[in-house]
Structure 1
Amino acid sequence: MAVLTNGSREQQHQKLTRTGLAGRVGPMFTVEDVGAAKPDQAAFLAACARLDLPPSSVLSVGDRHDLDVLPARAAGLRAVHLDRRDEGPHDEPHRIRSLADLRL
Protein backbone atom coordinates (compact mmCIF):
# COMPACT_ATOMS: atom_id res chain seq x y z
CA MET A 1 0.00 0.00 0.00
CA ALA A 2 1.34 3.43 -0.96
CA VAL A 3 0.14 7.01 -0.52
CA LEU A 4 -0.14 9.64 -3.25
CA THR A 5 -0.82 13.07 -1.80
CA ASN A 6 -1.05 16.72 -2.76
CA GLY A 7 -0.28 17.54 0.87
CA SER A 8 3.00 17.64 2.69
CA ARG A 9 4.74 14.57 4.00
CA GLU A 10 4.20 15.85 7.57
CA GLN A 11 0.42 16.27 7.01
CA GLN A 12 0.18 12.73 5.72
CA HIS A 13 2.17 11.28 8.62
CA GLN A 14 -0.29 12.99 10.99
CA LYS A 15 -3.28 11.58 9.08
CA LEU A 16 -1.78 8.09 9.05
CA THR A 17 -1.16 8.28 12.78
CA ARG A 18 -4.75 9.44 13.46
CA THR A 19 -6.20 6.62 11.37
CA GLY A 20 -3.96 3.92 12.81
CA LEU A 21 -2.20 3.33 9.49
CA ALA A 22 1.20 4.73 10.48
CA GLY A 23 3.82 2.06 9.89
CA ARG A 24 1.36 -0.03 7.87
CA VAL A 25 1.78 1.66 4.50
CA GLY A 26 4.66 1.61 2.08
CA PRO A 27 6.03 4.51 0.11
CA MET A 28 4.54 7.99 0.19
CA PHE A 29 4.61 10.09 -2.96
CA THR A 30 4.19 13.86 -2.74
CA VAL A 31 3.87 16.41 -5.54
CA GLU A 32 7.62 16.94 -5.30
CA ASP A 33 8.27 13.21 -5.69
CA VAL A 34 6.14 12.66 -8.79
CA GLY A 35 6.31 16.10 -10.40
CA ALA A 36 2.55 16.53 -10.70
CA ALA A 37 -0.46 17.11 -8.46
CA LYS A 38 -3.82 15.39 -8.46
CA PRO A 39 -6.07 15.60 -10.44
CA ASP A 40 -3.35 15.46 -13.12
CA GLN A 41 -3.26 11.90 -14.44
CA ALA A 42 0.53 12.26 -14.59
CA ALA A 43 0.64 12.09 -10.78
CA PHE A 44 -1.01 8.66 -10.78
CA LEU A 45 1.09 7.40 -13.67
CA ALA A 46 4.32 8.60 -12.04
CA ALA A 47 3.44 6.85 -8.78
CA CYS A 48 2.75 3.63 -10.69
CA ALA A 49 6.07 3.98 -12.49
CA ARG A 50 7.89 4.53 -9.19
CA LEU A 51 6.24 1.35 -7.87
CA ASP A 52 7.13 -0.45 -11.13
CA LEU A 53 3.49 -1.49 -11.54
CA PRO A 54 1.22 -1.14 -14.55
CA PRO A 55 -1.71 1.20 -13.78
CA SER A 56 -4.22 -1.57 -14.49
CA SER A 57 -2.84 -3.56 -11.54
CA VAL A 58 -3.23 -0.71 -9.05
CA LEU A 59 -6.30 0.02 -6.92
CA SER A 60 -6.58 3.65 -5.89
CA VAL A 61 -8.75 4.60 -2.91
CA GLY A 62 -9.54 8.28 -2.55
CA ASP A 63 -11.88 10.48 -0.56
CA ARG A 64 -12.32 13.09 -3.30
CA HIS A 65 -14.28 11.82 -6.27
CA ASP A 66 -13.13 14.69 -8.48
CA LEU A 67 -9.45 14.72 -7.44
CA ASP A 68 -8.84 11.06 -6.69
CA VAL A 69 -11.29 8.69 -8.32
CA LEU A 70 -12.02 10.13 -11.75
CA PRO A 71 -8.42 11.01 -12.69
CA ALA A 72 -7.14 7.66 -11.38
CA ARG A 73 -9.58 5.85 -13.65
CA ALA A 74 -8.67 8.11 -16.56
CA ALA A 75 -5.03 7.09 -16.00
CA GLY A 76 -5.98 3.42 -16.18
CA LEU A 77 -6.09 2.55 -12.47
CA ARG A 78 -9.00 0.88 -10.75
CA ALA A 79 -10.49 3.30 -8.22
CA VAL A 80 -12.79 3.27 -5.20
CA HIS A 81 -14.39 6.34 -3.64
CA LEU A 82 -13.97 6.50 0.14
CA ASP A 83 -17.10 8.52 0.92
CA ARG A 84 -17.03 8.78 4.73
CA ARG A 85 -19.56 11.64 4.82
CA ASP A 86 -22.00 10.11 2.32
CA GLU A 87 -21.66 13.13 0.03
CA GLY A 88 -21.79 11.14 -3.17
CA PRO A 89 -22.06 10.92 -6.00
CA HIS A 90 -24.48 8.25 -4.91
CA ASP A 91 -24.53 6.56 -8.30
CA GLU A 92 -20.80 5.74 -7.95
CA PRO A 93 -20.70 1.93 -8.17
CA HIS A 94 -17.40 1.61 -6.30
CA ARG A 95 -18.07 3.58 -3.14
CA ILE A 96 -17.25 2.64 0.44
CA ARG A 97 -17.95 4.48 3.70
CA SER A 98 -14.94 3.16 5.65
CA LEU A 99 -11.59 1.56 4.89
CA ALA A 100 -12.95 -1.45 6.79
CA ASP A 101 -15.44 -1.86 3.90
CA LEU A 102 -12.61 -2.35 1.42
CA ARG A 103 -12.49 -5.92 0.15
CA LEU A 104 -9.18 -6.92 -1.37
Structure 2
Amino acid sequence: MNKIKWIFFDIGSTLVDESAVYENRIKEITQGNNIDRNEFVAKVIERAQTSPKPIVSAAEDYGVKVPAWRHDLEVLYPDTKELLQRLSQKYKIGIIANQDFGTEQRLTDFNVYQYINLVIASAEEGVAKPDLRIFQIALDRANCKPEEAVMVGDRIDNDIIPANKIGMKTVWIRQGFGALSEPQMIDEAPGFIIDKLTDIYKLIGV
Protein backbone atom coordinates (compact mmCIF):
# COMPACT_ATOMS: atom_id res chain seq x y z
CA MET A 1 0.00 0.00 0.00
CA ASN A 2 3.05 2.28 0.00
CA LYS A 3 2.41 3.76 -3.46
CA ILE A 4 -1.26 4.54 -2.89
CA LYS A 5 -2.38 8.06 -3.78
CA TRP A 6 -6.15 7.59 -4.15
CA ILE A 7 -8.70 5.62 -2.12
CA PHE A 8 -11.99 5.04 -3.92
CA PHE A 9 -15.13 3.97 -2.08
CA ASP A 10 -18.45 2.51 -3.06
CA ILE A 11 -21.33 4.18 -1.23
CA GLY A 12 -24.14 1.74 -0.41
CA SER A 13 -23.28 -0.71 2.38
CA THR A 14 -19.75 0.72 2.35
CA LEU A 15 -19.99 4.32 3.58
CA VAL A 16 -23.77 4.44 3.89
CA ASP A 17 -25.92 2.01 5.88
CA GLU A 18 -28.91 1.04 3.76
CA SER A 19 -30.44 -1.41 6.25
CA ALA A 20 -33.53 0.68 6.89
CA VAL A 21 -34.17 1.01 3.15
CA TYR A 22 -33.97 -2.76 2.72
CA GLU A 23 -36.24 -3.35 5.70
CA ASN A 24 -38.80 -0.88 4.35
CA ARG A 25 -38.80 -2.54 0.95
CA ILE A 26 -39.21 -6.01 2.42
CA LYS A 27 -42.06 -4.82 4.64
CA GLU A 28 -43.93 -3.13 1.80
CA ILE A 29 -43.46 -6.07 -0.57
CA THR A 30 -44.52 -8.75 1.89
CA GLN A 31 -47.36 -6.92 3.64
CA GLY A 32 -48.67 -5.32 0.48
CA ASN A 33 -48.77 -8.59 -1.45
CA ASN A 34 -49.60 -11.06 1.31
CA ILE A 35 -46.24 -12.80 1.00
CA ASP A 36 -44.75 -14.73 3.91
CA ARG A 37 -41.96 -12.54 5.24
CA ASN A 38 -39.66 -15.38 6.32
CA GLU A 39 -40.00 -17.04 2.95
CA PHE A 40 -39.25 -13.81 1.11
CA VAL A 41 -36.27 -12.93 3.30
CA ALA A 42 -34.82 -16.41 2.75
CA LYS A 43 -35.06 -15.85 -1.00
CA VAL A 44 -33.44 -12.42 -0.68
CA ILE A 45 -30.54 -13.92 1.27
CA GLU A 46 -30.12 -16.61 -1.37
CA ARG A 47 -30.10 -14.05 -4.19
CA ALA A 48 -27.65 -11.80 -2.32
CA GLN A 49 -24.95 -14.41 -2.94
CA THR A 50 -25.05 -13.71 -6.69
CA SER A 51 -27.05 -10.53 -7.31
CA PRO A 52 -26.23 -6.90 -6.42
CA LYS A 53 -30.00 -6.29 -6.22
CA PRO A 54 -31.29 -9.25 -4.20
CA ILE A 55 -34.63 -7.70 -3.19
CA VAL A 56 -35.41 -6.77 -6.78
CA SER A 57 -34.41 -10.25 -7.93
CA ALA A 58 -36.56 -11.94 -5.29
CA ALA A 59 -39.54 -9.70 -6.06
CA GLU A 60 -39.38 -10.70 -9.72
CA ASP A 61 -40.07 -14.30 -8.71
CA TYR A 62 -43.36 -13.17 -7.20
CA GLY A 63 -44.18 -10.81 -10.03
CA VAL A 64 -44.60 -7.90 -7.64
CA LYS A 65 -43.57 -4.26 -7.85
CA VAL A 66 -40.55 -3.06 -5.89
CA PRO A 67 -41.12 0.15 -3.89
CA ALA A 68 -39.08 3.21 -4.82
CA TRP A 69 -35.71 3.60 -3.17
CA ARG A 70 -35.94 5.69 0.01
CA HIS A 71 -32.81 7.84 0.23
CA ASP A 72 -34.34 9.49 3.30
CA LEU A 73 -33.84 6.22 5.20
CA GLU A 74 -30.12 6.06 4.47
CA VAL A 75 -27.67 6.88 7.25
CA LEU A 76 -23.90 7.01 7.45
CA TYR A 77 -22.17 4.19 9.26
CA PRO A 78 -20.97 5.58 12.61
CA ASP A 79 -17.30 5.62 11.56
CA THR A 80 -17.74 7.05 8.06
CA LYS A 81 -17.24 10.75 8.71
CA GLU A 82 -14.19 10.41 10.93
CA LEU A 83 -12.69 7.88 8.51
CA LEU A 84 -13.01 10.17 5.50
CA GLN A 85 -11.73 13.12 7.49
CA ARG A 86 -8.61 11.23 8.58
CA LEU A 87 -7.89 9.63 5.22
CA SER A 88 -8.32 12.94 3.37
CA GLN A 89 -5.36 14.37 5.26
CA LYS A 90 -3.03 11.92 3.52
CA TYR A 91 -4.85 10.61 0.43
CA LYS A 92 -7.16 11.78 -2.31
CA ILE A 93 -10.64 10.35 -1.78
CA GLY A 94 -12.90 9.26 -4.60
CA ILE A 95 -16.30 7.64 -5.08
CA ILE A 96 -17.13 4.99 -7.69
CA ALA A 97 -20.75 4.01 -7.14
CA ASN A 98 -23.94 2.87 -8.78
CA GLN A 99 -26.21 5.69 -7.67
CA ASP A 100 -29.09 7.64 -9.13
CA PHE A 101 -28.86 11.38 -9.79
CA GLY A 102 -27.89 13.67 -6.92
CA THR A 103 -25.00 11.75 -5.33
CA GLU A 104 -22.93 14.86 -4.61
CA GLN A 105 -25.88 16.55 -2.93
CA ARG A 106 -26.56 13.50 -0.75
CA LEU A 107 -22.90 13.42 0.31
CA THR A 108 -23.18 17.12 1.09
CA ASP A 109 -26.29 16.48 3.17
CA PHE A 110 -24.35 13.80 5.07
CA ASN A 111 -21.69 16.45 5.73
CA VAL A 112 -18.87 14.42 4.18
CA TYR A 113 -18.55 15.88 0.68
CA GLN A 114 -15.82 18.25 1.83
CA TYR A 115 -13.50 15.26 2.31
CA ILE A 116 -14.08 13.85 -1.17
CA ASN A 117 -12.09 14.92 -4.22
CA LEU A 118 -13.96 13.10 -6.98
CA VAL A 119 -17.42 11.56 -7.36
CA ILE A 120 -18.07 9.15 -10.22
CA ALA A 121 -21.69 7.97 -10.10
CA SER A 122 -23.42 5.75 -12.62
CA ALA A 123 -26.42 8.00 -13.30
CA GLU A 124 -24.31 10.98 -14.31
CA GLU A 125 -21.77 8.91 -16.25
CA GLY A 126 -24.24 6.69 -18.10
CA VAL A 127 -22.27 3.55 -17.23
CA ALA A 128 -22.52 1.35 -14.15
CA LYS A 129 -20.39 -1.12 -12.25
CA PRO A 130 -19.19 -3.75 -12.94
CA ASP A 131 -18.42 -2.19 -16.34
CA LEU A 132 -14.70 -1.43 -16.37
CA ARG A 133 -15.39 1.89 -18.11
CA ILE A 134 -16.65 3.54 -14.94
CA PHE A 135 -13.43 2.60 -13.16
CA GLN A 136 -11.36 3.90 -16.06
CA ILE A 137 -13.32 7.17 -16.05
CA ALA A 138 -12.49 7.57 -12.35
CA LEU A 139 -8.79 6.85 -12.85
CA ASP A 140 -8.56 9.17 -15.85
CA ARG A 141 -10.21 12.08 -14.02
CA ALA A 142 -8.05 11.45 -10.98
CA ASN A 143 -4.95 11.31 -13.21
CA CYS A 144 -4.09 8.19 -11.28
CA LYS A 145 -2.49 4.91 -12.33
CA PRO A 146 -4.44 1.77 -11.30
CA GLU A 147 -1.61 0.58 -9.05
CA GLU A 148 -1.78 3.89 -7.18
CA ALA A 149 -5.44 3.38 -6.26
CA VAL A 150 -7.47 1.27 -3.86
CA MET A 151 -11.12 0.30 -4.35
CA VAL A 152 -13.12 -0.32 -1.18
CA GLY A 153 -16.53 -1.91 -1.66
CA ASP A 154 -19.02 -4.42 -0.32
CA ARG A 155 -19.71 -6.39 -3.50
CA ILE A 156 -17.37 -8.99 -4.96
CA ASP A 157 -19.16 -8.75 -8.33
CA ASN A 158 -19.55 -4.98 -8.64
CA ASP A 159 -16.48 -3.73 -6.79
CA ILE A 160 -13.72 -6.29 -6.34
CA ILE A 161 -13.70 -8.21 -9.63
CA PRO A 162 -13.65 -5.16 -11.96
CA ALA A 163 -11.16 -3.27 -9.79
CA ASN A 164 -8.90 -6.33 -9.80
CA LYS A 165 -9.16 -6.54 -13.59
CA ILE A 166 -8.19 -2.92 -14.09
CA GLY A 167 -5.21 -3.25 -11.77
CA MET A 168 -6.37 -1.44 -8.64
CA LYS A 169 -5.73 -2.75 -5.17
CA THR A 170 -8.94 -4.02 -3.59
CA VAL A 171 -10.51 -4.09 -0.14
CA TRP A 172 -13.72 -6.03 0.43
CA ILE A 173 -15.75 -4.74 3.35
CA ARG A 174 -18.20 -7.36 4.54
CA GLN A 175 -21.26 -5.25 5.27
CA GLY A 176 -24.87 -5.41 4.09
CA PHE A 177 -26.05 -8.06 1.65
CA GLY A 178 -22.64 -8.03 -0.02
CA ALA A 179 -21.23 -9.89 2.96
CA LEU A 180 -23.22 -12.92 1.80
CA SER A 181 -21.32 -13.15 -1.48
CA GLU A 182 -18.02 -14.98 -1.60
CA PRO A 183 -15.22 -15.01 -4.18
CA GLN A 184 -15.50 -18.17 -6.27
CA MET A 185 -12.27 -17.98 -8.25
CA ILE A 186 -8.75 -16.77 -7.59
CA ASP A 187 -9.13 -13.67 -9.79
CA GLU A 188 -12.20 -12.70 -7.76
CA ALA A 189 -10.31 -12.62 -4.48
CA PRO A 190 -9.91 -9.21 -2.82
CA GLY A 191 -6.48 -8.07 -1.83
CA PHE A 192 -7.73 -7.45 1.69
CA ILE A 193 -10.87 -8.28 3.68
CA ILE A 194 -12.25 -6.09 6.47
CA ASP A 195 -15.41 -6.22 8.58
CA LYS A 196 -15.69 -2.55 9.50
CA LEU A 197 -14.48 0.73 8.10
CA THR A 198 -11.94 1.43 10.82
CA ASP A 199 -10.04 -1.74 9.84
CA ILE A 200 -8.72 0.33 6.94
CA TYR A 201 -6.40 2.13 9.33
CA LYS A 202 -4.42 -1.06 9.88
CA LEU A 203 -3.98 -1.55 6.14
CA ILE A 204 -2.65 1.88 5.27
CA GLY A 205 -1.16 3.10 8.52
CA VAL A 206 -3.15 6.26 9.16
TM normalised by structure 2 equals: 0.43
Decide which structure has the larger Cα Rg and report it.
2
Which of 150, 169, 180 is equivalent to 1:59? 150
Q: CA deviation at 1:94?
A: 1.4
Give CA-to-partner distance per residue, 1:43-87, whole Å, 9 cap, x none: 111110110001111000011111001111011111110112543
- Write the mapping of 1:61-80 to structure 2, written as runs, cut at 5 A: 61-80=152-171
Alignment RMSD (CA, Å) = 2.6
Corresponding letter in the other structure for 2:94? A
State, as a whole percentage, how many aligned pairs show the same letter: 23
Say which is worse superposed, 25-34 or 35-44, in terms of deviation.
25-34
Counterpart for residue 3 of structure 1: 95
In structure 2, C-alpha distance between the alignment counterparts of 1:83 and 1:77, rounded to whole Å: 19
Counterpart for residue 98 of structure 1: 196
**1:39·1:66 contact (CA, 8 Å) conserved in 2?**
yes
Cα 1:75/1:92, change in 2 over 3 Å: closer
Q: CA deviation at 1:13?
A: 5.0
TM normalised by structure 1 equals: 0.79
User: Could you list the runs of 5+ residues in structure 2 that have no partner in the other structure?
Assistant: 1-92, 184-188
Say which is worse superposed, 8-17 or 31-40, in terms of deviation.
8-17
Give CA-to-partner distance per residue, 1:9-40, whole Å, 9 cap, x none: 535654682xx744322211112554421001
In structure 2, C-alpha distance between the alignment counterparts of 1:12 and 1:63, rounded to whole Å: 20
Which of 110, 121, 133 is equivalent to 1:30? 121
Which of 182, 185, 203 is equivalent to 1:89? 182
User: Could you list the runs of 5+ residues in structure 1 that have no partner in the other structure?
Assistant: none
Greater relative contact order (Cα < 8 A, sep 6+): 2
In structure 2, C-alpha distance between the alignment counterparts of 1:82 and 1:13, rounded to whole Å: 24
In structure 2, C-alpha distance between the alignment counterparts of 1:3 and 1:66, rounded to whole Å: 17
